[in-house]
Chains A and B, each alone.
Chain A
Amino acid sequence: MGGASRFATISREPGPLSRRRASLATKKEMSDFLASVERRAFKQCVYSVHDDEAALDIVQDAMMRLAEKYSDRPPTELPMLFQRILQNAMRDHFRRTKVRSTWTTLLSNMGLGGEDDDADPLETLGVEDQGNIPASPADRLEQGQVMAAIEEAVRGLPDRQREAFMLRYWEELDVSETAKVMGCSEGSVKTHCSRATHALAKVLRSKGITL
């Protein structure tokens, strides 16, 4: 249980809690877990939905649901539960988007669609974190290019392959946990992961990137 073991290292609050109660996630553990996972979850969503705002909403919903409904679970179960909620939230987002786009297309064909060209392009610019930035400008440029290429390659993967790859190798869930989150067989997870890895390697090789 990779993801679970990673989180299991977070210390528990001491206190006169019963043995059974002590095995459940405390508020601090929940907080630590969410803090450790929020940025990765956000990136996962961005790779999937290609929209920062929607990704933020999805992550917020997922965190809210986890904190509200799963305080009766041990901390080791939180990574898998959170991923399950997150993946379901992403699926819901796609369903809603599909319905909305159907209606938008229908209404715009009828001439009732609104204009939405007033978006400020500056709003899409974000200030980057200054940590982990190489000293020399050349290195910084190179690192930025490699990172952009990797992110583009990940974004370009088919949904299921990306989901499997992210859960398995970034979130470090094991094969059975990944299968539970994805709602498929363990064999399918292995196939998706293998295909994703080969596709990524191929894309990066074609761009002259060696890891």
Chain B
Amino acid sequence: MNEKEFADKLKPWLERAAGQVGEMQATRLKSARLRALDAYREPVRLLGLVTVSGGTLQELHYSIVQRSLLWLPILALLTALTVMSVSEPDLGELDVELLTQELPPDAFLDKDLRSWLGKTGV
């Protein structure tokens, strides 16, 4: 008797053993199956290119949302800093230069500088 023949003769016994699992186990297996089917999600076609499992997509969506929420405070902080740095005028630097007298004296004789100072309201 070769391997396959032996296995073929053994298989019905194994099938019978599987058919005789206890009532309690059979009930639990059935409820496990029903729970699994509750978790089944229809496959979704993405951009008409790839088909992914609904569960995978849901998981992906969840992780993207979760990550976005994690990045949100950092993004808000960076935005605030950027806005602050942009809204801050260069007048401060000019004041500092004036006060430390790093600006050459000729600069105060320059008409354009005066007109520029007038425009900016300094």
Contacts and interface: CB of A to CB of B under 8 A. Distances in A.
Q: Report the contact-size class of chain A (Cβ under 8 Å from the partner).
A: 35 or more
Interface string B35-54: 11101111101000001111
A194 interface: yes
Contact of A68 (B17, B23, B53): B53
A154 B3 CA distance: 15
The secondary structure that dominates the A interface is: helix
Interface string B1-16: 1011011111101111
A30 B34 CA distance: 11
B29 interface: yes
A188 interface: no
Which one of B8, B10, B28 has the highest number of Cβ atoms from chain A below 10 Å of its Cβ?
B10
A147 B41 contact: no
A38 B39 contact: no
Contact of B10 (A66, A143, A169): A169
Interface in A162-179: 165, 168-170
Contacts of B54: 71
Contact of B36 (A66, A126, A150): A66
Contacts of A115: none
A40 B35 CA distance: 19
A170 B14 contact: yes
A194 B33 contact: no
B56 interface: yes
Nearest to B16: A132
Contacts of B4: 169
A39 B11 contact: no
Contacts of B8: 169
Nearest to A24: B43
Contacts of A38: 29-30, 32-33
B85 interface: no
Contacts of B19: 39, 129, 131-132
A132 B6 contact: no
A39 B55 contact: no
11 contacts: A38-B32, A39-B18, A39-B29, A40-B15, A43-B21, A126-B25, A129-B19, A132-B19, A147-B13, A150-B10, A197-B6
Given A34-B36, A38-B33, A71-B55, 19 more contacts: A31-B37, A38-B29, A39-B21, A42-B21, A43-B14, A43-B17, A56-B32, A64-B32, A68-B41, A69-B53, A69-B55, A71-B40, A72-B51, A126-B22, A129-B19, A147-B16, A147-B20, A150-B13, A168-B7
The 3 A-B residue pairs with the shortest CB-CB distance in the complex, in nearest-first order: A126-B22, A169-B7, A60-B32
Interface of A: 20-21, 24, 27, 30-31, 34-35, 38-40, 42-43, 52, 56, 59-60, 63-64, 66-73, 126-129, 131-132, 143, 146-147, 150-151, 154, 165, 168-170, 193-194, 197, 200-201, 211
Interface of B: 1, 3-4, 6-11, 13-26, 28-30, 32-33, 35-37, 39-43, 45, 51-56
